[in-house]
Structure 1
Amino acid sequence: MKVYNKLVRDKIPEIIEADGKVCRTHILSNEEYIVALEAKLNEEVAEYQADKNLEEMADVLEVLHAICVARGYSLAELEAMRANKAEKRGGFKEKIFLEYVEEKR
């Protein structure tokens, strides 16, 4: 038996059972769900950092979408906030690396 104790995608129990295995799951409360999503985000970001591939990027994005909805926002609101910040402060396309800031004398 391998213990996971983590949030998984909705179809994972079906996939496990189709493979002839047995798993135990339970449904989280809303509060537990948000905590588990935030842990999942850390897990997915670490996997992206290790592999740097499109699949891991998609996993990070999926978790971010779930966190957005779990916290009561819509994906449209998330995109609007992203676009607004990009309009006001820019994105990261110019590859600017800030070295330091000092006060003028």
Structure 2
Amino acid sequence: MPTKTYHKLVRDRIPEIIEADGKTCVCETLSDENYISLLDQKLNEELAEYQESKSLEELADLLEVMQAVVKARGWTLEELERVRAEKAAKRGGFEKKILLKEVQG
């Protein structure tokens, strides 16, 4: 059976799922620094997948990675929501569908 090389961050149960399928895999536990770096890469990967598919499932994957980033950086979801709400209060959200075309002066 051919070997596929991935070298990417995967969800916690993926090795278990691979082995349940009768395959073997080689994994390592990352340092905090490498984990955050690979989470940042995973954010880009999941965003690209969402942009291609526009599916709720891919958007959920993006949210899962965002939650992992928050935790890995020592923040809380409550802090993230507070910052989001503060920005929305000061600058608004995106509900009005405004396209800024140009500014003069």
Q: TM-score with structure 1 length normalisation? A: 0.96
Aligned CA RMSD, in angstroms, stands at: 0.6
Answer yes or no: is 1:60 the counterpart of 2:82: no
Aligned residues: 103
Match of 2:40 in 1: 38
Q: How big is each residue's C-alpha offset from its partner over 1:17-71, in whole Å with a ceiling of 9 and x where there is no partner? A: 1111100100000000010000000100000011000000001111111111111
Q: CA deviation at 1:87?
A: 1.2
Q: Which runs of 4+ in 1 moved over 2 A?
A: none
Tell me, in whole angstroms, the C-alpha distance in 2 between the residues paired with 1:11 and 1:83.
33
Match of 2:94 in 1: 92
Gaps of 5+ in 1: none
Gaps of 5+ in 2: none
Tell me, in whole angstroms, the C-alpha distance in 2 between the residues paired with 1:34 and 1:100.
37
Tell me, in whole angstroms, the C-alpha distance in 1 between the residues paired with 2:47 and 2:82.
23
Answer yes or no: is 1:102 the counterpart of 2:104: yes
Q: TM-score with structure 2 length normalisation? A: 0.96
Tell me, in whole angstroms, the C-alpha distance in 1 between the residues paired with 2:102 and 2:32.
42
Q: How big is each residue's C-alpha offset from its partner over 1:65-89, in whole Å with a ceiling of 9 and x where there is no partner? A: 1111111100110011111111111
Tell me, in whole angstroms, the C-alpha distance in 2 between the residues paired with 1:66 and 1:37.
8
